[in-house]
Structure formats: C-alpha cells, structure tokens
Amino acid sequence: MGSTLHRTELQGYAYATRSSHRQSARLLARHDDAGLRIEIQGDGKAVIGGAYLSQVTIDPPLGRSPRKLTLPDGTVFETDDHEGIKQLTGRTHGTVLHDIEAFRPRLFGVIALCLAATWVLWRYGLDIMVAVAIAFTPAILVEQIDNGTLKTMDFAMAKPSELSDGDKAEVTQIYRKLLASLPEAEREKHSFDLQFRNMPGVGPNAFALPGGTMVMTDALAETFSDPDVIAGVLGHEIGHVVEEHGLKRLYRSLSLYVLIAFLAGDTGPILEDVILEGNLLLSLSFSRAQETSADRFGLALAKEAGFNPSGLLLFFETLQNAYGGREPTQWMSTHPSSSERLRAIEAFIDTL
C-alpha cells in the first residue's frame, strides 16, 4: 500500500556510526503499515540508514543549535531545518522547556519569578533547609561534637581550671538558677554542662558548644565577682544553645557553599571571587544577628531567674574599657561593635 500522503524531505548532514565522516544527506519520511519510517540518503540516493521514527533518539531542542537524530545503528542525522523537524516529530521530549526559554516578553515573568525565588530562598529557604538538617541530626552526634571540640581545645589551648572549689560552686549555683528558669522541654533537649578551664590569652570569656556544653575561663570568675555579670554572660551562652546557633551557622554555611558552587556554575574568573567575598560579608552579618539574639535571650533569662539584667551591660563596659578602641569596623566583624551592642542591650533592658 505504502501511502505517501505526507512526504517529508529535510536537508542536512549525516555521520556514519562511531565516525567523524560527514556528508551532506537528506532525510526522507513516509508512512507505511508499521508507522512513520525515515530514511537517510547520501549523494546519489545511496541509503545510509533507515528506521521507524519510534526507534530514533531525538535530542531535545536547544536554542538554534542543529537538531540531531540518532538511528538505532548509530547513524546520526543533523539538520538546521528546525521547522521541518518540528513537523516530522511533533512535540518531543523537551519541547515545553524550549518554548519557555524563548526570548519573548513572557521571559520577563521568568526573570521576576527568579529574582523573587532567589530572595525567598535566601530569606526562608535556607532556614528551612537548616531546620530540616538540624531535625535529622541525631542528639548523640551533637554530643559527640561537644566532646570532640572540648578534647581539641584541651589539647591545643586550655589548661585545667585553677579556681577554688568554692568559686566553682558559686558559679555553678548561678548556672543552675538560670537553667531552672528555662522551660522544661528545653532543659531536656540539651545536655547542659558547665566546664571550667584556665585559658591564658583568651581573657574573661565563656562560650557554648552546640550540644549544651559551656566553657568558662578562669579569668571571667576572677575579674567579675558580681553574680549578675556571671548570670548575664552565662545567660547569653545558654541563648546560643537553646536557639541552636552553632548548628545553624554550620549548616547554613555548608548549604550556601554547595548552592553557590552548583547554581552559579561557571561565572568566570573575577566574578567568582566577588560572589565568595559577598557571601562572606553576609555570613558575618548573620553571625552578628545571632549575637544580638543571644543577648536578648540571656537578658530575659537572667531577669526571670532573679538577677539584675544590667550585669551583661557591666561586662561589656568593663571589656570596652580594658580593650577599648581596638575593634574592627562593624561590617567586618562577627560580633556587633561594643558601643552599638551596649545601646541595644540598654534599650532591651528597658522593655523587660
């Protein structure tokens, strides 16, 4: 029967299987009983290959680059006749995508959507990714992080505490009082544990590890005898633990790094550095926001536990007087600048 109602002919080039041998060729298509059959012919009607269209691999359209058909035996037919291919194959895998990509006014919608999505990803998406990652982090792992960090610290920079048992007991009591004011659920979620270390060179300070371990330097207890100050500093550190700042920062920087590496792709030489530097500045601002948040948490907790919240104020004022004038400008730092921080603390105490 072999009806030839729609006889299609496309001009292009053909490659033999696994070879760079290239020749001008044409593609002929006709319907027969088993379906639409295509045949590739070289010069002088020599048949290079043929197959039913259903067996042919059709590369999805991509811009105006040549369309490519690969026959089951590996023969390749390539053509710039985009209209012809469209009529031959109808809608194929990838046609929708190709449509959306076309440079038309509609693309402005895509741009707007893209900018909005970038903003949403930055503002909320990262937080959600981080929250999911934290939810999937087993508690035992977080405890292990604490153990590992403590061991490294003891090895590298910390010595056993030289405080008297009486001093330690006093501080521990303040710590217990603060913890008692925490909601029951928070107390059970983290394994709070206060450690004393002698860390020369670090000065009066305390820091929290993600699992709830807290390290206080001897210098802090020696410099400040006022329980309100100790309560203010420890409250701040408890804030870091309860609000899971350590894990959040870790996961956030990891996901940002991976996202930028894979999304931005090949941005070219200088631009990559611009992105990385911008990212660093943004992560500093994130870290400053965490400090402010922990300040507020600590102030509220200290007040709740019956301490005078202005203890934290006294702590920073003393530090500023001792080490004053030696801090980097705000935007370069992981911590809010002291004067700014003092003002914020004062303002927040007023609202308590």
Partner 1 sequence: MSIGLPSDAKPFKFKGNAREWFGIWIVNLLLSILTIGIYSAWAKVRAKKYFCNNTYVEGRNFDYHATGKQILIGRLIIIAFFVVFQVILTTAPVLGLILAVGLIFAYPWLIVRSMQFNARMTSFSNVRFGFVGTTGQAVLVFLIYPILMALTLYTTFPIWDRAVKRFSIDNHKLGQARFKFDAGLGAFYKALLAALTWILAVGVIGVLVTGFSFSAFYIALDNAESDPGVAIAAVGLIYLMFFAAILPAAFIYQALVRNEVYNTTTLEGGHRFASCVSAPRLLWLAISNMVVVVFTLFLMLPWAQVRMARYLTSHTGLIPGDTLDEFVNQQQAEGSAAGDAYTDLEGIDVGLPV
Binding site for partner 1 (CB under 8 A): 15, 18-22, 62-66, 68, 76, 97, 100-103, 107, 110-111, 113-115, 117-118, 121, 125, 129, 141, 144-145, 147-149, 151-152, 250, 254, 258-259, 261-263, 265-272, 274, 325-329
Give me 343's structure tokens. 């003002």
Find the shortest distance in angstroms from Cβ 90 to partner 1.
22
Amino acid at 133: A
Find the shortest distance in angstroms from Cβ 311 to partner 1.
28
Q: Which of 210, 229, 223 is nearest to 139 (CA)?
A: 210
> Are 331 and 281 a contacting pair, CB within 8 Å?
yes
Radius of gyration of the chain (CA): 34
Find the shortest distance in angstroms from Cβ 252 to partner 1.
13
Nearer to partner 1 (CB atom), residue 3 or residue 23: 23
- CA–CA separation, 30 and 38 (whole Å): 7
Give me 247's structure tokens. 């894990």
Find the shortest distance in angstroms from Cβ 260 to partner 1.
10
Find the shortest distance in angstroms from Cβ 47 to partner 1.
19
Find the shortest distance in angstroms from Cβ 234 to partner 1.
24
Nearer to partner 1 (CB atom), residue 2 or residue 63: 63
Nearer to partner 1 (CB atom), residue 100 or residue 157: 100
3-state secondary structure of 139: helix
What residues pair up with 207 in beta bridges, in sequence order?
Answer: 215
HSE, CB side, 13 Å, CA atoms: give it for residue 246: 20
- CA–CA separation, 49 and 71 (whole Å): 8
Nearer to partner 1 (CB atom), residue 68 or residue 236: 68
Nearer to partner 1 (CB atom), residue 36 or residue 145: 145
Nearer to partner 1 (CB atom), residue 10 or residue 179: 10
CA 93 to chain centre: 32
- CA–CA separation, 39 and 49 (whole Å): 6
